[in-house]
Chains A and B, each alone.
Chain A
Amino acid sequence: QKEVEQDPGPLSVPEGAIVSLNCTYSNSAFQYFMWYRQYSRKGPELLMYTYSSGNKEDGRFTAQVDKSSKYISLFIRDSQPSDSATYLCAMRLENFNKFYFGSGTKLNVKP
């Protein structure tokens, strides 16, 4: 079993929709949680970074962490065609700069 599980999609939504992306993990020691966006033929770009359980909002993006369920989510409001990319969740342990990534969910926002 992989330490971080993520549905690969693809996920196709109409422009303006609310998108929900999710990851589950098995290691309860993970303390830091991140979401990256990766466009085709580019490196991943850091979108959101959270430490504790709860919600963190940044513009149209909201990251949610539920440590008791070992479940993290990324919500995108008013999705745009420019949001079409692969979204990767990542997490790491306390005091270790080693990141564990999900396999990525490919999102397509149709105009």
Chain B
Amino acid sequence: KAGVTQTPRYLIKTRGQQVTLSCSPISGHRSVSWYQQTPGQGLQFLFEYFSETQRNKGNFPGRFSGRQFSNSRSEMNVSTLELGDSALYLCASSSLVGQDYEQYFGPGTRLTVT
């Protein structure tokens, strides 16, 4: 079974621009979560989508948004980029096994804002 894939793997953008990141979950997984990872803050939860609906949300400004398509693929958008948005953005897909959500991460998209 193929793992979680994310594109692009690396991205360089200029402050003020916007960016869209893509995530394809493991086949059969309906939940996709997004995280931001920085050296200072660690892994921080952005949001979770399930069946095309945002189900959980972290404490990030509205510049961070996402969506999920009917095939469970998800995109994350960051508008008006700031220098502090430079980070590794990780996508994770989950399936509910009994009462357990088993979550698997993709390799991440490394975003650099200059």
Contacts and interface: CB of A to CB of B under 8 A. Distances in A.
A49 B94 contact: no
A61 B56 CA distance: 31
Nearest to B98: A51
A102 B90 CA distance: 15
Interface stretch (A11-19, A38-46, A63-71, A74-82): A38-46
B72 interface: no
A103 B42 contact: yes
Contacts, number: 60
A101 B48 contact: no
Nearest to A4: B42
Q: Chain A interface: which size bin?
A: 20 to 34
Interface of A: 32, 34, 36, 41-46, 49, 51, 88, 90, 92, 94, 96-104
B33 A99 contact: yes
B100 A49 contact: yes
B45 A100 contact: yes
Interface string B31-44: 10101000000111
Interface residues of B, number: 28
B101 interface: yes
12 contacts: A42-B107, A43-B4, A44-B90, A46-B105, A88-B42, A97-B50, A97-B96, A97-B103, A98-B33, A99-B33, A103-B42, A104-B43
Interface of B: 4, 31, 33, 35, 42-45, 48, 50, 55-56, 58, 90, 92, 94, 96, 99-108, 110
B42 A97 contact: no
B104 A97 contact: no
Given A43-B106, A43-B108, A97-B55, A102 B48 contact: no
A42 B9 CA distance: 10
A12 B108 CA distance: 27
Contacts of B104: 46
A98 B45 contact: yes
